[in-house]
């Protein structure tokens, strides 16, 4: 190993094996052979025939004399944050995945922040009430050159060692600070000028990981389903088979109270009085009451309970096809509905009152929470959910009675 | 005789100078307008800070708008009178005197508001007599939120933004959501 030529932190050196390891550990990076082909690689790129991603590789240098303008990518926005491409351009609200060119200005309000991946080697968290400019983000050969100007407020800078030379400078109205490959926070204010503080590294790491998780790709096979609102097919399958586990420290009594409160229906809020009245006055056709011995509500409840499995499988399918189960919450609510009505059916004989009205109340409450889970055009979703139940019951009554 | 005549002409001049210095020394700076006159809604928050940044002093109207936004996350008021009434209700201002909207805000008033926002209990005097401009200013200096100032001084726009930011940082630290 002795005499092997390597690159460490952008410098070509001839070193021993021990110093090679030391160099790699100290820089938190792998060893990079001196010979470079100037082809940029992405860290998660997999070689043909290789399973899984390769170990991340450092960024490669450009040929000598070649310059490349880099950009900043917004990876997180909290509260009010805006940016503009140049001093004379109008401000626009920042959102995740916005790309900022060199020369961009950023500003944030109270209780607000914006986080950006800047160029190939830095992450900047711009804190509350801050004005920050990014006059320069570029790569010149083996040098990553970045200038960030903090006009006021606070910004955290994390500069990674990626195998090239970092020329990262933070300008404030009174000082210029250079970062080689570490991190710190800079505060600049009218009262005491510049202040240097420790980097909020855990906050930045959490934001980076969260952003990367939103960029995950899912590979589907067989019956797997992935939707925009529920991208993970495993979660969807889990919800359809074993239902969502109940996490948290709620006791059974508290949990029941919580579920009851979730089912409280405010008809006036969602304009459902007419729908409820319609379903309540439902009379299945061709249904003859046998000599007045059993009330109509009891017969309808019996119809559902006698065909319990078929009925609720059909209801689940028709809901899934018409409205879709877009969240685990909705699946959980449906399984709760099925459980409650099943328990009710087992004690139908002892029920004192109108059993169909009880079932209808459960379904209406379910539809209300289900539509809230869908998150859009609630009243329409609730009406459709109830009318699907209505139509299904109608069909079962036609077939069964 | 000549010396006496000279003395008699200097004495009135000195008195005039002292009088003029005394009269202007107690007056507060008054601006033509406040940033909040133009940028008052919640949506205009960033413009408000941007314009405040270049103001040589922060006015009472601007200070109340900024402090109310800090306290509640939003300032629903539209006029200076409404903001003043709200500030009196929160005991940020004592007495019935109404300072001018475009008059420079005293650090003491802003310090009382900060004590209220941060729930500063203070020392013996504050506990006995309640928050006052003098003791709240001293508390903020002790807490390293304000540098050495007195309660009658004013702040520039940039200094006020810094003060609000420092109070927000302290709030975040106390609620446990601060940076590491």
Each residue of A184-207: pLDDT tens digit?
899 999 998 999 988 988 999 899
Mutation target among B52, B157, B180 for the A interface, most CBs of A within 10 A = B180
Alpha carbons A123 and A113: distance in angstroms, whole number: 13
Alpha carbons A260 and B160: distance in angstroms, whole number: 50
Asked if B168 and A156 come within 8 Å (Cβ–Cβ), the reply is no
HEC letters along A253-300? HHHHHHHHHHCCCCHHHHCCHHHHHHHHCCCCCCCCCCCCCCCHHHHH
Alpha carbons B84 and B65: distance in angstroms, whole number: 10
Name the residue among B53, B73, B180 with its Cβ closest to that of A152. Answer: B53
Are A104 and A122 contacting, i.e. CB atoms less than 8 angstroms apart? no
Where does the pLDDT of residue A322 fall: very low under 50, low under 70, confident under 90, or very high at 90 and above? confident
The answer, yes or no, to whether residue A130 has pLDDT greater than 90, is yes
The answer, yes or no, to whether residue A397 has pLDDT greater than 70, is yes
For chain A, percent of residues with pLDDT exceeding 70: 65
Are A170 and A186 contacting, i.e. CB atoms less than 8 angstroms apart? yes
- Local structure of residue A350 (DSSP, 8 states): G
pLDDT of residue A350: 76
pLDDT of residue A22: 30
Sequence-distant (≥ 6) Cβ neighbours of residue B171 within 8 angstroms: B117, B118
Are B149 and B159 contacting, i.e. CB atoms less than 8 angstroms apart? no
Are A123 and A116 contacting, i.e. CB atoms less than 8 angstroms apart? yes
The answer, yes or no, to whether residue A150 has pLDDT greater than 60, is yes
- The verdict on B117 touching A (C-beta cutoff 8 Å) is no
Asked if A154 and B165 come within 8 Å (Cβ–Cβ), the reply is yes
Asked if A191 and B146 come within 8 Å (Cβ–Cβ), the reply is yes
Name the residue among A80, A91, A128 with its Cβ closest to that of B168. Answer: A128
Q: Which residue has the tokens 């040098």?
A: A143
pLDDT of residue B170: 93
A304 closest CA partner among A344, A350, A333: A344
Among A110-114, A151-155, A231-235, A251-255, name the one with the lowest average pLDDT. A251-255
Q: Which residue has the tokens 């029920």?
A: A351
The better pLDDT of the pair A131, A240 is held by A131
The answer, yes or no, to whether residue A41 has pLDDT greater than 80, is no
For chain B, domain boundaries: 30-175
CATH number for domain A67-209, candidates 1.25.40, 2.60.120, 1.10.150, 3.40.50: 2.60.120
pLDDT of residue A94: 95
Q: Which residue has the tokens 């804190």?
A: A127
pLDDT of residue A386: 85
- The verdict on B160 touching A (C-beta cutoff 8 Å) is yes
For CATH 2.60.120, the residue range(s) in chain A are 67-209
Among A70-84, A293-307, B156-170, name the one with the lowest average pLDDT. A293-307
Residue pLDDT, tens place only, A42-62: 444 444 444 444 445 567 788
Where does the pLDDT of residue A239 fall: very low under 50, low under 70, confident under 90, or very high at 90 and above? low
pLDDT of residue A373: 65
Sequence-distant (≥ 6) Cβ neighbours of residue B133 within 8 angstroms: B106, B107, B108, B109, B111, B112, B151
Phi and psi at A134, nearest 5°, equal -120, 80
The answer, yes or no, to whether residue A337 has pLDDT greater than 90, is no
Asked if B46 and A80 come within 8 Å (Cβ–Cβ), the reply is yes
- Local structure of residue B98 (DSSP, 8 states): -
Mutation target among A183, A189, A198 for the B interface, most CBs of B within 10 A = A189
* Per-residue tens of pLDDT for chain B, all 180 residues: 555 555 666 777 777 766 665 555 567 888 888 999 998 888 899 999 999 999 999 999 999 999 999 999 899 999 999 999 999 999 998 877 788 899 999 999 999 999 999 999 888 888 888 889 999 999 999 999 999 999 999 999 999 999 999 999 999 888 876 554
The answer, yes or no, to whether residue A148 has pLDDT greater than 60, is yes
pLDDT of residue A250: 53
Asked if B165 and A153 come within 8 Å (Cβ–Cβ), the reply is yes
N-to-C CA span, chain B: 78
The answer, yes or no, to whether residue A278 has pLDDT greater than 60, is no
């Amino acid at each position: 190993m002795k005499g092997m030529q390597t690159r460490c932190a952008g410098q070509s050196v001839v070193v021993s094996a021990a110093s090679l390891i030391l160099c790699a550990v100290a820089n938190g990076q792998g060893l990079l052979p001196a010979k470079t082909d100037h082809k940029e690689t992405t860290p998660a790129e997999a070689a043909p025939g290789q399973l899984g991603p390769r170990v991340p590789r450092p960024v490669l240098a450009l040929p000598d004399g070649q310059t490349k303008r880099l950009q900043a990518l917004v990876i997180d926005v909290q509260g009010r944050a805006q940016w503009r491409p140049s001093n004379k351009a109008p401000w626009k609200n920042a959102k995740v995945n916005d790309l900022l060119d060199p020369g961009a200005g950023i500003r944030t309000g109270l209780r607000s922040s914006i986080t950006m991946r800047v160029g190939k080697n830095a992450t900047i968290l711009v804190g509350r009430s801050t004005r920050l400019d990014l006059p320069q983000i570029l790569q010149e050969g083996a040098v990553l050159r970045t200038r960030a100007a903090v006009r006021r407020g606070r910004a955290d800078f994390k500069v990674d060692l990626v195998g090239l030379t970092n020329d990262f400078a933070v300008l404030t109205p009174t000082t210029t600070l250079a970062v080689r490959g570490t991190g710190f926070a800079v505060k600049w204010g009218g009262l005491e000028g510049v202040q240097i503080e420790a980097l909020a590294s855990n906050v930045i790491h959490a934001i980076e990981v969260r952003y990367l998780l939103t960029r995950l790709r899912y590979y589907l096979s067989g019956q797997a389903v992935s939707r925009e609102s529920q991208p993970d097919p495993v979660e969807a399958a889990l919800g359809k088979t074993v239902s969502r586990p109940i996490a948290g420290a709620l006791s059974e009594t508290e949990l029941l109270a919580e579920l009851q409160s979730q089912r409280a229906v405010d008809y006036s809020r969602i304009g459902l009085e007419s729908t409820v009245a319609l379903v309540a006055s439902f009379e299945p056709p061709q249904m003859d009451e046998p000599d007045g011995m059993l009330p109509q509500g009891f017969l309808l409840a019996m119809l559902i309970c006698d065909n319990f499995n078929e009925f609720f499988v059909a209801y689940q399918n028709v809901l899934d096809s018409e409205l879709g189960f877009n969240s685990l919450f909705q699946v959980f609510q449906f399984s709760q509905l099925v459980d409650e009505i099943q328990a009710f059916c087992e004690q139908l004989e002892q029920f004192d009152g109108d059993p169909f009205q009880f079932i209808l109340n459960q379904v209406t409450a379910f539809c209300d929470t289900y539509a809230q889970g869908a998150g859009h055009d609630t009243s329409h979703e609730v009406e459709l959910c109830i009318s699907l139940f209505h139509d299904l019951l109608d069909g079962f009554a036609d077939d069964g009675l | 005789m000549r010396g006496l005549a000279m003395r008699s002409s200097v004495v009135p001049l000195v008195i005039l100078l002292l009088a003029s210095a005394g009269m202007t020394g107690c007056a507060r700076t008054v601006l033509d307008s406040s940033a909040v006159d133009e940028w008052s809604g919640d949506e205009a928050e960033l413009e408000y800070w941007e314009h405040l940044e270049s103001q040589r002093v922060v006015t009472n109207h601007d200070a109340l708008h900024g402090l109310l936004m800090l306290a509640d996350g939003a300032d629903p008021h539209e006029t200076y009178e409404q903001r003043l009434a709200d500030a009196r209700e929160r005991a940020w201002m004592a007495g019935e005197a109404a300072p001018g909207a475009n008059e420079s805000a005293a650090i003491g008033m802003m310090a009382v508001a900060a004590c209220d926002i941060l729930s500063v209990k203070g020392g013996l005097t504050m506990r006995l007599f309640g928050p006052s401009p003098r003791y709240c200013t001293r508390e903020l200096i002790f807490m390293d939120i304000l540098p050495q100032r007195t309660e009658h001084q004013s702040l520039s726009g940039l200094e006020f933004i810094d003060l609000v930011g420092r109070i927000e940082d302290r709030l975040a630290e106390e609620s446990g959501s601060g940076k590491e």
